[in-house]
């Protein structure tokens, strides 16, 4: 996830538009919760959902255990 990424739209080999990528308010099934006691790490079939707390610094909160994770603590699901 690159919060400052730009997507270039190219048509007929020419750049026609640039769009800034924006993060959604929640991210599902991409990052896992680092809390070993979280229900998503219990072996149950519960997929992780992270609420985006800060889009500029990429700070997420686990929907289930409410632990706060910054960009350096994120692990892919």
Q: Is 16 helix (H, G, I), strand (E, B) or coil?
A: strand
Please, which contacts does 72-76 make with residues 24 or more away whose CB atoms are closer than 8 Å? 73/34, 74/31, 75/31, 75/32, 75/34, 76/30, 76/31, 76/32
List average pLDDT for each run of 10 residues in the chain, which is 77 residues long.
83 95 89 91 89 88 94 82
Q: 24-76, what's its fold?
A: SH3 type barrels. (2.30.30)
Domain boundaries, the chain: 24-76
In this prediction, residue 66 carries a pLDDT of 95
Query: Strand 68-69 to strand 49-54: parallel, antiparallel, or no bridges (unpaired)?
Result: unpaired
Closest to 51 (Cα-Cα) out of 31, 37, 72 = 31
């Amino acid at each position: 996830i690159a919060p400052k990424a730009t997507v270039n739209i190219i048509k007929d080999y020419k750049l026609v538009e640039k769009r800034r990528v924006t993060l959604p308010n929640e991210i599902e099934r991409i990052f896992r919760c680092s809390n070993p006691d979280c229900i998503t790490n219990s072996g149950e079939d519960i997929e992780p959902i992270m609420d985006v707390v800060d889009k500029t610094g990429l700070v997420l909160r686990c929907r289930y255990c409410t632990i706060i994770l910054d960009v350096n603590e994120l692990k892919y699901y």
